[in-house]
Every structure is written in structure tokens, then in C-alpha cells.
Homo-oligomer: A and B are copies of this chain.
Amino acid sequence: MTNKGFILWFTGLSGAGKTTISQALEPQLRAKGCKVEILDGDIVRTHLSKGLTFSKEDRDTNIRRIGFVAHLLSRNGVVAITAAISPYKALRDEIRAMEPNFVEIYIKASLETCESRDVKGLYAKARAGEIKGFTGIDDPYEEPTNPEIICYTAEETVDESVVKIITKLEELGYI
């Protein structure tokens, strides 16, 4: 059987849990026979978008590139998981319009929660003015208005979020 490809588009603030949940999800999808690629924000910035800044225009370019590659994978039967902040609604909707099999997952945690975690120390740098245009601090995060799935990472465990995603993908007929 050839599995259906689709894009799982994670979006959310830095530190909300996108990478953690996507990495926990991957083996579960593989166990169900899916091919999976995670296009993590950091990986993509290294291999596809080196040299781009965090300006609005460059962020848009970065998201379009991730969308292009995810679409190539999806239409060849791969589950393409993207895990970039992708803060702008218009760009996420642009990818959704291009890709028939698109599932948006909002990894939701308050700015206070994400900032208190500050796994990479980026919020501290942004507060100190060492990073400009940081999402949530001096650049907006536009919440999804109608995502297929929302994971509340301050209230749910990673396992609970993964179960929620798998259940919804089954409901939607993707797996």
C-alpha cells in the first residue's frame, strides 16, 4: 500500500513545543507505515535559507521555501512535518491553498510560558535587544483562526498531544 502524503504544519511561538512534539510524533507515524520527514526551522535555515534575515520579507521567503519542499514530499506520499514558527497567517494560508492535504497544528503556549522555558536562551537575548524582530517580543505572532488541531502544551503532556494528533489524523482519513 502506498501511503497518502500530507503536510503537518506546526505553528507556534519559539519554545511552545513544536520540535519536541514533532519528534515524538515521528516514530508513531512510522509505526503506522508512513514515510516521514521533519522540516525543522533550524534545519531549513541551514540548508535552504542561509543568509535570510528575520525581516518580514525574508521570513515569508523562508516559509514559502519550506512549503515548496513540503509540497514536493507530500505529493510523493511522504508526511512532511514542518516545525517553523511561521508567525504570519497569510503565509500559512498561502501554503494551505497550494497543498490539498494540509493539516495545521497550533502548538499553543502563552508567551509567559515560552519565555520562562527559554530553552535556547533566545527570549533573554531578544529582551536584551541582542536579537531584533523576535516573534512575540518585537514581532507579531498571528494565531491560527481555524487550525485542525490545537495542542495546549502548558496543560497537556507530550504524549497526550501526540495521541490527540494521531486521533485527529485518523478521523480525517490521513492515516
Q: Which residues of A contact B (CB under 8 A)?
A: 2, 35, 37, 47-48, 50-51, 61, 64-65, 68-69, 72-73, 76-78
Contact = CB atoms under 8 A, between A and B. Distances in A.
Given A48-B48, A50-B61, A37 B72 contact: yes
12 contacts: A2-B2, A35-B76, A37-B76, A47-B65, A48-B65, A50-B61, A51-B61, A69-B69, A72-B72, A73-B76, A76-B77, A77-B77
Nearest to A75: B37
A62 to B, nearest CB: 11
Contacts of A51: 61
Copies per complex?
2
B68 A35 contact: no
Given A48-B68, A73-B73, 9 more contacts: A2-B2, A37-B72, A47-B64, A47-B68, A48-B65, A48-B69, A72-B73, A76-B77, A76-B78
A78 B37 CA distance: 13
A68 B72 CA distance: 13
A1 to B, nearest CB: 10
A77 B48 CA distance: 21
Name the residue among A35, A72, A78 with the largest chain B CB count within 10 angstroms: A72
